[in-house]
Amino acid sequence: MRCPDCNHNQRYRDGTRCGKCSYQFVFRKKSDGLSDHALRQIIRRLSDNGQYAFTLTQLTLELCRYWQRSATQILVSGLIFVAIISGFVGFFFGSWSIALLLGIILVIFSVWKTQQQRISLPLSKARKLLDRYQQSHPITALADGRAFAQQTVTATPQDLQYAPERILVVERDDLVDMLVRNRFHATHKTVIVSRSGYPQAAFAACRHFLKHHPAIPVQLLHDASLQGFNLKAQLAADTNWPLARQSLVDLGLSQEAIKNTARLPWLPAGRRANGRLSTDYASMLRTGHRMPIDFIGPKPLLNLLGAAVLAGLLALPTPGSGSDSGDGGGSGGDDFG
């Protein structure tokens, strides 16, 4: 085990606390498929060395990318093993035809197994491991939708440090935290609030702006899902939101944005279920899956969203553009898209 704090290498039988700096190890790679050091590197890459906050969705999908890369490495090792076994059978039993047949069967099985692992998203496993880790080592960069829960409704529009040019309504509370903690609201002079009215102070400010400035643009941001596609109609009909249907601009994700794209990550409704990579968006929508707006890391997402609030539409990154990884630099063909 490699300590993420001091880089000290320690054997598992020597204990789960680092003998050099007393760091408490949480994982055992042999059984968990993840080490403390690997998770620390994933968090560091996703946050760009602590510069960006991220959502749980972004972190769990980054863990799935890590396991996908591991599956590819295992496949290469497996093919080498198959070649050795086939050679052994052919040399010692003198039957190269049987050895060839055995090799073909093992290769087909190995490739099929790896492909299944590459399109499956073990989200339930990722969440359980992260829950365990946070009990000992809270992840400070994690935006969980509770950062402003204790904020009292005393803020007025005059308390803001910027003159808002628009209101951005997002589908989930954790997206509010991620955007605000990354200063998107100040950079783009945008009041950010969730569909549920979180944070309450920002929601009160929104109502004030809409009452006195009804022409202020109101933009919507949501996942690609049946519920997300209906967000505009829901808000227009909600008496708690003084919005007119014609004043709402739906940035997406729209059905058009996810058509004719490479495989995208689809998440199920339940926390205990796993997701999958798929190009069949219609089937995924029918079965209640959603394609999360935060399927890419915070840095590329902020760049895309910054362009979207000006253009009025969010466009997905093209495959191979380098925008699908945590730090915007890409990490090869094992990433989504």
Q: What is the CA radius of gyration of the chain?
A: 24
Does 113 share its domain with 156?
Answer: no
Does 160 share its domain with 132?
Answer: no
117 backbone φψ class: left, alpha, beta (φ>0; ψ -120 to 50) = alpha
- 13 lies in a domain? no
- 40 lies in a domain? no
Question: Of residues 138 and 156, which shows the higher confidence score?
Answer: 138
Does 281 share its domain with 184?
Answer: yes
Q: Given 136, 164, 183, which residue is the final one in a domain?
A: 136
Residue 126's pLDDT is 92
120: which strand partners?
Answer: 276
Scanning the chain, the segments in alpha helix (DSSP H) are: 29-32, 36-46, 56-93, 96-119, 123-136, 173-181, 184-187, 200-212, 226-229, 231-237, 255-258, 281-286, 298-311
pLDDT value at 331 more than 90: no
Q: What distance in Å separates the CA atoms of residue 71 and residue 68, rounded to the nearest whole number?
A: 5
Average pLDDT of the residues in 110-131:
75
Q: Given 102, 117, 136, which residue is the final one in a domain?
A: 136
DSSP state of 322: S
Average pLDDT of the residues in 218-223:
92
Residues 285-310: pLDDT tens digits?
A: 999 999 999 999 999 999 999 999 88
Residue 26's pLDDT is 94
Does 99 share its domain with 214?
Answer: no
Does 164 share its domain with 257?
Answer: yes
- 64 lies in a domain? yes
Q: What distance in Å separates the CA atoms of residue 300 and residue 337, rounded to the nearest whole number?
A: 14
pLDDT category, 78, cuts 50, 70, 90? low
Does 195 share its domain with 305?
Answer: yes
Does 153 share its domain with 254?
Answer: yes
Question: What percent of the chain is modeled with pLDDT above 90?
Answer: 36
pLDDT value at 62 more than 70: yes
Count of other CB atoms within 10 angstroms of residue 328: 19
DSSP state of 316: P
Written as six digits, the tokens of 199 are 């944070």
- Strand 275-278 to 166-170 pairing: unpaired
Domain count of the fold of the chain: 2
pLDDT value at 333 more than 50: no
Written as six digits, the tokens of 314 are 């969010």
Range of the domain at 107: 54-136
- 11 lies in a domain? no
Does 68 share its domain with 197?
Answer: no
Residue 204's pLDDT is 84
The alpha carbon dihedral of 232, 237, 238, 240 has a sign of positive
Does 196 share its domain with 261?
Answer: yes
- 3 lies in a domain? no
Nearest Cα to Cα of residue 126 among 266, 274, 16, 1: 274
Residues 306-323: pLDDT tens digits?
A: 999 888 888 776 544 444
Residue 226's pLDDT is 92
With vertex at residue 318, the alpha carbon angle to CA 316 and CA 324, rounded to the nearest 5 degrees, is 75
Q: Given 81, 114, 136, which residue is the final one in a domain?
A: 136
pLDDT value at 157 more than 70: no
pLDDT value at 326 more than 70: no
* pLDDT, the chain, mean: 80
Question: What percent of the chain is modeled with pLDDT above 70?
Answer: 73
Does 198 share its domain with 262?
Answer: yes
- 63 lies in a domain? yes
- 326 lies in a domain? no
Residues 83-112: pLDDT tens digits?
A: 666 666 565 666 666 666 666 766 666 555
Nearest Cα to Cα of residue 52 among 296, 307, 319, 311: 296
Written as six digits, the tokens of 105 are 């069967």
Count of other CB atoms within 10 angstroms of residue 116: 11
- Strand 142-143 to 275-278 pairing: unpaired
Residue 40's pLDDT is 94
Written as six digits, the tokens of 334 are 């094992």
The alpha carbon dihedral of 294, 300, 306, 311 has a sign of negative
Q: What distance in Å separates the CA atoms of residue 252 and residue 144, rounded to the nearest whole number?
A: 22
- 214 lies in a domain? yes
Residue 85's pLDDT is 64
CATH number at residue 269: 3.40.1360.10
Residue 149's pLDDT is 76
Residue 120's pLDDT is 74
Residue 208's pLDDT is 79
Lowest mean pLDDT among 75-79, 225-229, 311-315: 75-79
Does 70 share its domain with 219?
Answer: no
pLDDT value at 140 more than 80: yes
Does 152 share its domain with 285?
Answer: yes
Residues 261-283: pLDDT tens digits?
A: 678 899 998 766 788 888 888 88
Average pLDDT of the residues in 172-196:
92
pLDDT value at 334 more than 50: no
